[in-house]
Structure 1
């Protein structure tokens, strides 16, 4: 009897959807479960779109951070020299090395961080409305820090695979892993180094994500709110301006942690001694300061900003558009 009732209900729903598809789509989008999932889905799609745009810049940024490791003096790499080196040793498409890992990272990391951030902000807004006030910058900061930390822990394996794939070309040909894809990289790292190796550099990754999210999401949200109150800019220009402001603060606050994360995730045990170059975050920071100088943490700041700001703009603009059409 229950089976017959379910079949009849499904038949009626299907018939109604076919007769009025726009209403069916509206009903689906306003389903409570769909509403809860949309911030995560829209965030992931926005992040993946942005990654396709900025992947070459990210590749150059990683190579800049790894160049001259352990040396205070010597040739100073530039964006142009690194780009020429990558293209000269292969082909232009080598700038997209690790794209599969980058897309997986965004599918996991950005899906989680934007989804969590929107969920936390919605909760803060609901609470603020009950108290007759607006959401504070402190609440936005807490939402950004928490969302970034949680997302980074979930996305660390994909982030590590991305760094390994992008740094592989720096090794002698006989020492290269030549990963075929992100799945191949994850499988081989797990098999050769253990599952725990997938979370190498997790602490600086989490701290980087928290500082980046504080700069990007909290400052974007606050900047957009202030621009709405104090300027006559169009909504599109408000988004562009707020993204540029957020991109600067995100870059400045997170680059040192991104630098250490890259070094820790790239390192592998010495074949002879079995030891790693760095024992952890503090040891890596100490050795960089001792051997390369404080300013090395901010090497490639321009490239990093050019990578972060457009990524933030594309991500936030696409997310805003997706949120608009799925209201």
Structure 2
């Protein structure tokens, strides 16, 4: 006797609900940025010295540094760079993710929405990271100055203590306006454009979410960010590298520089800035993507 039809039909197995992906640790971006900045520090050092002290040409500035301070001099102010990345960069990546949540955005959202999230993140991070930014700029530019004008900070912590003791608490806010403005531009152009370019590449159907896409998207993001941020970056470096009363007014610094050098002073140091920011941007996002994969692996999500 044949079995009833309903008994011969296989019962559908229960489909497990898709596992909700947990958010990544907020500090991943800061770690990735610190690793990248440590590798590219000599290029950042050269950019700051060209902007703040008038060194001519990237290669000449590098040679001058090696000639006067040795190869070790290429890493002058590295502790200031670490302090800056572990304050500013941790804050900006965290704030960017939180801003996207607040706006209901994700990596596939329109460019304007990603840029708005980047602006929000930049405003917060630029303010929080301002003391670290000052220390980084001062320590990088110190050895390019005449001996009698050097600050000679031992490290970033010593620099913070001396700044407060010698110049008051208000010194920690020096250049905060240009720095916040520059941070807004940076995050709107770098973080947002990386998400935008990455999504556009994946939408074509010719690419997978791998290191090739990460490299291409970060290369494009680095070029956009360098060009957009150059004017604010030059003004910020000149104000922060000054001490005493000479660097208090961004408007005065802008007028003086415009009068003496013309409008193209705003793009002074673009080549070393691009040369530094390009590998930094690529290293940041590749490192960040790999750190995310490590986190996924430890959670069993791969």
1:322 CA drift (Å): 1.4
CA 1:199 to 1:279, structure 2 compared with 1: closer, same or farther past 3 Å? closer
Match of 2:6 in 1: none
TM-score, normalised with respect to structure 2: 0.86
Of 157, 163, 169 in structure 2, the residue corresponding to residue 195 of structure 1 is 169
Q: Given that residues 39 and 119 in structure 1 are in contact (C-alpha distance below 8 angstroms), is that contact kept between their aligned partners in structure 2? A: no
Match of 2:236 in 1: 261
Counterpart check, 1:49 vs 2:40: no
1:145 CA drift (Å): 0.7
Match of 1:321 in 2: 290
1:241 CA drift (Å): 0.9
Q: Given that residues 204 and 261 in structure 1 are in contact (C-alpha distance below 8 angstroms), is that contact kept between their aligned partners in structure 2? A: yes
- Return the alpha-carbon distance in structure 1 between the equivalents of residues 192 and 122 of structure 2: 11
- Return the alpha-carbon distance in structure 1 between the equivalents of residues 105 and 218 of structure 2: 25
Match of 1:250 in 2: 225
1:82 CA drift (Å): 0.7
- Return the alpha-carbon distance in structure 1 between the equivalents of residues 149 and 195 of structure 2: 46
CA 1:122 to 1:323, structure 2 compared with 1: closer, same or farther past 3 Å? farther
TM-score, normalised with respect to structure 1: 0.80
Match of 1:3 in 2: none
- Return the alpha-carbon distance in structure 2 between the equivalents of residues 183 and 58 of structure 1: 20
Q: Given that residues 50 and 311 in structure 1 are in contact (C-alpha distance below 8 angstroms), is that contact kept between their aligned partners in structure 2? A: yes
- Return the alpha-carbon distance in structure 1 between the equivalents of residues 98 and 288 of structure 2: 14
Counterpart check, 1:294 vs 2:273: no
Q: Given that residues 61 and 303 in structure 1 are in contact (C-alpha distance below 8 angstroms), is that contact kept between their aligned partners in structure 2? A: yes
Q: How does 1:204-215 map to 2 (within 5 A)?
A: 204-215=178-189
CA 1:151 to 1:304, structure 2 compared with 1: closer, same or farther past 3 Å? same
Match of 1:59 in 2: 45
* Offset from partner CA, 1:98-127 (integer Å, 9 cap, x none): 111101111111111111112222444xx4
Of 227, 246, 249 in structure 2, the residue corresponding to residue 277 of structure 1 is 246
Match of 2:299 in 1: none
Of 119, 131, 149 in structure 2, the residue corresponding to residue 145 of structure 1 is 119
Match of 2:198 in 1: 224
Of 42, 63, 66 in structure 2, the residue corresponding to residue 87 of structure 1 is 66
CA 1:295 to 1:231, structure 2 compared with 1: closer, same or farther past 3 Å? farther
1:41 CA drift (Å): 1.3
- Return the alpha-carbon distance in structure 2 between the equivalents of residues 223 and 39 of structure 1: 24
1:39 CA drift (Å): 4.0
Can you give the 5+ residue segments of structure 1 that lack an aligned partner in the other structure? 1-29, 69-75, 270-275
Q: Which runs of 4+ in 1 moved over 3 A?
A: none
- Return the alpha-carbon distance in structure 2 between the equivalents of residues 314 and 97 of structure 1: 21
Match of 1:162 in 2: 136
Can you give the 5+ residue segments of structure 2 that lack an aligned partner in the other structure? 1-18, 297-302
Q: Say which SS state the counterpart of residue 147 (structure 1) adopts.
A: helix
